[in-house]
Chain A
Amino acid sequence: MASKADLMGLLLTALVRLITGAQGHWKGCPPKAEQRIYFANHQSHLDWMLIWAALPSDLRATTRPIAARDYWTSSKFKAWLTREVFHAVYVSRQRSEDQDPLEPLVEVLDAGDSLVIFPEGTRSNKGLPQPFKTGLYHLAEQFPNVQLIPAWIDNVNRVMPKGEVVPVPILCTVTFGAPIQLEPGEDKRAFLERAREAVVALRPHLS
């Protein structure tokens, strides 16, 4: 029997599909159940929902987002939504001295699940993504066998611009590119720049 969380998941997927189409374009890799870290540009609150709805349902169960602990556990509903429906990984935004902020992510990857991360950190509306934060590099270093899949989320900023509460139905796409790898001896900054370029390269062009 389907649980309440499963039903909520289906309902949300249906809603996102109705509003955005949520089309996944698998350009560089097939939608396969392998352990992966998807990293994408970040423009809107809907970004995670869109990737999630674009994934085939069997991948959805093992692919987990990251949620800020202070915000997403502040009410019962938010906590239920992130924990039960999305199986989110909570991270603390305040950095405490004794704890590595990547620790919860490492646990998830150790357990064999896939992750979706937005390495820019904050949302940007400037079109091109901002420089990537270092988390992606450290994860790539620690988990050389996990595939790093760049993804470009297109059009979401038009669905619900900042300050609006009602979304407008506009077709959005998520383009998944070819996996990249940390080269032996590659510098942190060079790798992050390369990863960012891999995301930007997936931006659809009008013919």
Chain B
Amino acid sequence: MGHLRALTVDQQVGLLFVILFGALIVVSAISGLVMLRRSEEEGSSRHIRVKAELRAIWAGAIVFWLAWVSGALGATLLFAVFSFFALREFITIAHTRRSDHRSLILSFFIVLPAQYLLVGFRTFDLFTVFIPVYVFIAIPVISALAGDPERFLERNAKIQWGVMVCVYGLSHAPALLLLEFKNYEGRGAFLVFFLVVVVATAQRTQEGASRWLRRRPVARHIDRSFSYRAWAIGATTAAIVGAALYWTTPFKAGQALVMAFIAAGAGSFGEFVMKALKKDAGVPSWGNRSAITGAVGLLDRVAPLCFAAPVFFHSVRWYFQFRG
């Protein structure tokens, strides 16, 4: 690790992306060759799933590369756009009423840009309370002014949830990029990378574990595969991976282990919660109902991150402030 530490920060981050994209190219090439050798019908559904999965990972990797290359401003803008698309998907499925119109305008065109401006200017103290305090009081006021008492609580809850997950949660990813630690300046990209790897690991492991364990589901009406043991296996594996990656972060190995466990656990629970929301809305995914063309399903992809990012951000920040 010695000569790695001798490199400048930019070189280190650059190396990280070279490794990441190299691995992706190798994996894609291998899966492409495997697909070529198979006949058309055989395993076509798996084929499609693997292809979609690979494409999503590519997209994610490119996004993070762009976020890093474009610097603080670019990263913040990029995630703001993501928030916009995610919130659009959320509100589409949530079936708001006509009298919610003004509250929705507030959420999309005032709250969302304001939150990302706060991130961009690194006003982290206001940024952490802006939505849960000020916006959560403003939205019901605007809704009440619309003069429609029907399902008032439910309507407000829908919009507040959308803003919380899609704007507040996701805005913590660029915030990580901009967080400044002593002796760790400019390495926020590693922290985001750490978070994403750890959350994705937990997701995949949990999926695999639940298939292999075949436990009785905890909540069969929400998710037939979710069990405590699978969740624990996912989060623990993520913790071990996190500990192995400690050198990319400002943590020591033990700290990285705990941080990874917290972030990955939160992400997996978040995914579970989003499944409940989808079941409630009666849709299999956030992508548009009959996904023939153009359905993105962005929220399906970023949901675990939306939950993991704020928890991770605040535990990191709290921990480091605590130590002075």
Partner-B contacts on A (CB < 8 A):
21, 23-27, 155, 158, 161, 164, 166, 168-171, 173, 175, 204, 206-207
Q: Is B28 an interface residue (CB 8 A)?
A: no
Bound-state CA distance A175–B294 (Å) is 13
5 pairs, CB–CB < 8 Å, chain A vs chain B: A26-B292, A26-B293, A168-B91, A169-B108, A173-B288
| B: contact size bracket | 20 to 34
- Which of B87, B101, B282, B295 has most chain A Cβ within 10 Å? B101
Q: Mark B270-301, 1 if CB is under 8 A from A, else 0.
A: 00000000000111100011101111000000
Bound-state CA distance A158–B98 (Å) is 7
Contact A170 B295 (CB under 8 A): no
Of A25, A168, A170, A171, the residue contacting B293 (CB under 8 A) is A25
Give the interface SS of chain B, mostly helix, strand, loop or mixed.
helix
Q: Is B12 an interface residue (CB 8 A)?
A: no
Bound-state CA distance A206–B290 (Å) is 9
Of B282, B284, B295, the residue contacting A23 (CB under 8 A) is B295
Partner-A contacts on B (CB < 8 A):
84, 87-89, 91-92, 96, 98, 101, 104-105, 108-109, 281-284, 288-290, 292-295
Bound-state CA distance A161–B295 (Å) is 24
Contact B96 A206 (CB under 8 A): no
User: Which A residues lie within 8 Å of B105 (CB)?
Assistant: 166, 168
Of B89, B92, B290, B292, the residue contacting A155 (CB under 8 A) is B92
User: Which A residues lie within 8 Å of B96 (CB)?
Assistant: 158
A-B pair count, CB < 8 Å, reads 55
Bound-state CA distance A177–B293 (Å) is 15
Contact A168 B283 (CB under 8 A): no
Contact A204 B290 (CB under 8 A): yes
Contact A207 B282 (CB under 8 A): yes
Given A168-B105, A207-B282, 10 further pairs, Cβ under 8 A: A21-B294, A23-B288, A23-B294, A25-B292, A158-B98, A164-B101, A169-B108, A170-B92, A171-B92, A206-B281
User: Which B residues lie within 8 Å of A164 (CB)?
Assistant: 101
Identity of the chain B residue whose Cβ is nearest the Cβ of A170 in the assembled complex: B92
Smallest CB-CB A-B distances: 3 pairs:
A171-B92, A168-B104, A23-B294
Contact A21 B88 (CB under 8 A): yes
Identity of the chain A residue whose Cβ is nearest the Cβ of B286 in the assembled complex: A171
Contact A206 B289 (CB under 8 A): yes
Bound-state CA distance A166–B105 (Å) is 7
Contact B293 A207 (CB under 8 A): no
Of A161, A168, A204, the residue contacting B289 (CB under 8 A) is A204
Bound-state CA distance A25–B287 (Å) is 13
Contact B109 A166 (CB under 8 A): yes
Contact B293 A23 (CB under 8 A): yes
Of B84, B89, B284, the residue contacting A171 (CB under 8 A) is B89
